[in-house]
Structure 1
Amino acid sequence: METAQIITHDNRKIYPDIYSVKPGPVQILRVPKMQYVTQEMSTTFHMNWAGRPEPLDEQWIVWKIVNQLKQITKKSIGYKFKLMPTEIIWHSINDDDKYNITHMMQVPDCITSEIYEEARANVEKNLRGQTVPKTKFVVEDSTISAQKLHVGHYQDTLLTLQEIENYTEEQGYRIKGNRREIYLTPAMQCHLPETWKTIVRVEIDKLD
């Protein structure tokens, strides 16, 4: 008797407007309700590494938890999924010249807080007594956002943000909160900087 093959779900394909953005003008769109594993960090970044900004002084634990989520959902409910790109919300620079950021990774709707807690517990067990940074399982409501694909070095994404700011103001919107960057360039691959792809996104609302 043949065993049924488990389909691998890829949220890049499920949400192409969110994660498969093509080069072009600024877009205004509704981002659906989505959920993430997140980690608040204050860290220094070396922005020349091909793949994503590299943390120099803190451990990124989000991907370890999401890898555990993959194992749990595949075994318990037969749901297999691909890892999503690293996302960072950039908040501010503190007195130590470190960036205050939220590191996050989107996870499927089938993930619950109970499954998340099980995955985190597995990571803590695997790290054998090491201090595991705080993380959260977060559900974000649907928002109206503006975004544009930045192609080039990460250090230049503020130029794309300025394009977004100019366009949204012309269209009668204002930006709410901090910018989010989604790093589409696969980690650990040595692409030339001019090929790196980053989605720059901000939440917006209509001016009164």
Structure 2
Amino acid sequence: MSTPKTDFKKEYRELYTAKPEPGLVLAPELPYLMIDGAGDPSSPGYASAVEALYGVAYAIRFALKGAGVMEYPVMPLQGLWWTEEDHRSDFAAHRDLWQWTMMIMQPPQAGVAMLFDDAVATARKKKPSSPIDRVRLETLREGWCGQILHVGPYSTEAATLERLHTFLEEGGHTINGNHHEIYLSVPGRTAPEKMKTIIRYPVTPAG
């Protein structure tokens, strides 16, 4: 019997597609691998955290495929960003002040029995110097969100953010969570001017 195949980017298409004009999306509760950190995302600490996250994500993927449960592509990297002063993240602040939680969405089966613990153990053996033990499996609850597609390098997000904030304010939608980015492109593999990033904020809808 062949292993069932699925693509969660297609199954949850509304969460991984956005337009250059702002809009609203309803984000359901879903399981994510998460790892927390602080400081400049160009630092070695950030890189090692992301490495740990992918190590566990791939270990879960191979375990589910090996057990004949399902086969799927590992989902895109995502990040929650903020500072102590502003949950929307002050991008004018020094990068060393940034707080972040990096995430990768997981299939529901990732939390079954000892699968997550086994995946952590497997990833730790392959990358003993990586901060694997900081990775956790947690449900993300955002509900209604405002979002927009940013095309270009991260350094030019300001104008895109302004359009999104204006849309939310004029519509009476109140931001109630952290700045959320979904990375649809991989740095180094995509020209900076063609990079695609979904920017999202949980909101309390008007009315």
TM-score after normalising by structure 1: 0.84
Contact 2:22 2:163 in 1 (8 A): yes
Identify the structure with the greater helix proportion: 2
Alignment-derived partner of residue 98 in structure 2: 99
| Count of aligned positions | 195
1:44 aligns with 2:43: no
Match of 1:105, SS? strand
Alignment-derived partner of residue 8 in structure 1: 5
Q: Determine the C-alpha separation between the residues in 2 that align with 1:141 and 1:129.
A: 31
Contact 1:34 1:142 in 2 (8 A): no
Alignment-derived partner of residue 136 in structure 2: 136
Q: Deviations over 1:61-102 (max 9, x none)?
A: 100000000111111243111111110111227998242100
Alignment-derived partner of residue 49 in structure 1: none
TM-score after normalising by structure 2: 0.84
Alignment-derived partner of residue 148 in structure 2: 148
In structure 1, what residue type is equivalent to 2:2?
Answer: Q
Cα RMSD of the aligned pairs, angstroms, is 2.3
Q: Deviations over 1:152-202 (max 9, x none)?
A: 11112232222111101111111112210111013541x221110000000
Contact 2:120 2:133 in 1 (8 A): no
Contact 1:43 1:56 in 2 (8 A): no
CA distance 1:95–1:45, change in 2 (3 Å): closer
In structure 1, what residue type is equivalent to 2:27?
Answer: V
1:66 aligns with 2:66: no
Alignment-derived partner of residue 195 in structure 1: 194
Alignment-derived partner of residue 87 in structure 2: none
Unaligned runs of 5+ in 1: 47-54
Unaligned runs of 5+ in 2: 85-92
Contact 1:157 1:200 in 2 (8 A): no
In structure 1, what residue type is equivalent to 2:45?
Answer: D
Alignment-derived partner of residue 118 in structure 1: 118
Q: Determine the C-alpha separation between the residues in 2 that align with 1:9 and 1:123.
A: 23
Q: Determine the C-alpha separation between the residues in 2 that align with 1:65 and 1:138.
A: 14
Alignment-derived partner of residue 160 in structure 1: 160
Query: Percent identity at matched positions?
Result: 21
1:109 aligns with 2:97: no
Alignment-derived partner of residue 89 in structure 2: none
Match among 90, 100, 109 for residue 81 of structure 2: 90
Q: Determine the C-alpha separation between the residues in 2 that align with 1:96 and 1:184.
A: 22
